[in-house]
Amino acid sequence: MENLPVLKTERLILREFARDDLADFFEIFRDEEVNTFLPWFPVRTLEEARTFFAERYESPFCGFRYAVCRKEDNRPIGYVTAGLAGGHDFGYGLRREFWGQGIITEAGRAVIAQLRRDGVDFITATHDRNNPRSGAVMRRLGMRYCYSYEEQWQPKNFPVIFRMYQLNLDGQEDRVYRGYWEQSAVRMVEEGL
C-alpha cells in the first residue's frame, strides 16, 4: 500500500519508515531478545540493517507497514504491520526498554481502526506458544484464539507450534481463516485459551 496515512494516538505517531530512520531501525532489529520469536535473525551491523530495510520496507508490499514512534521525538521504537493477502497477517515488534507500557496495544488499536476504515474484513496474528506475552497483546487487541499448528520456521529452520488468533472487522464473527491449518500436518485446538 502506497502513502499510508499518518496515525496519531495519545502517545504515539505511526508513520512509514524513512531512510533517515536507519539507526533506529537497527536498534529495533539488532536486539536478540526482541527478535527471538520473529522469523529472521537479528541484524549485527548497520550494513545488514540497511539491506534488511531495503528488503522489508523498500520492496513492494500489499498492506500496512508502520513505524511506531513516540510523539516527543518521532523516532521509531517499534513497528506494526498488516498484510492484505492470505491471512491478512498482523505483526509487531518493540524495543525491549519500552516493553510493558502498552505501546504496541495502543499502536495496534490505531492500525486496526485504520484497517476497518479501509474495508479490511479480518486479520490474523500468530505467536510461538513459547511466547505467551505476544498472545496477551493479541487478546488485548480483541483477537480470539482459533487453533494451533506446527511450521518449520525459516530461515531459522526448526519446528514451532504457533497459536493463531483472529479478529473479524466486518461483523462476520464465525469466520475462521483456515490457511495455516490446511498447510500443516500437525494442528490442534488447545483447550483453555
Please give the tally of structural domains in the chain: 1
Q: Is residue 149 part of a domain?
A: yes
pLDDT digit string, tens, across residues 29-60 = 998 888 888 878 889 999 999 998 888 877 77
Q: Domain of 112: which CATH number?
A: 3.40.630.30
Q: Is residue 1 part of a domain?
A: no
pLDDT digit string, tens, across residues 137-178 = 999 999 999 999 999 987 788 899 999 999 999 999 999 999
Q: Is residue 2 part of a domain?
A: no
Q: Is residue 26 part of a domain?
A: yes
Q: Give the pLDDT score at 169.
A: 97
Residue appearing with cell numbers 466486518: 170
SS3 of residue 178 by DSSP: coil
Residue 179 structural domain: 7-188
CA-CA distances (angstroms) from residue 119 to 141, 162, 164?
Answer: 18, 27, 22
Element (H, E) at 52: helix 46-57
pLDDT digit string, tens, across residues 94-130 = 999 999 999 999 999 999 999 999 999 999 999 999 9
Q: What's the pTM value of the predicted model, to 2 decimals?
A: 0.93
Phi, psi of 7, rounded to the nearest 5 degrees: -115, 145
Element (H, E) at 123: strand 122-128
Q: Is residue 112 part of a domain?
A: yes
Q: Is residue 87 part of a domain?
A: yes
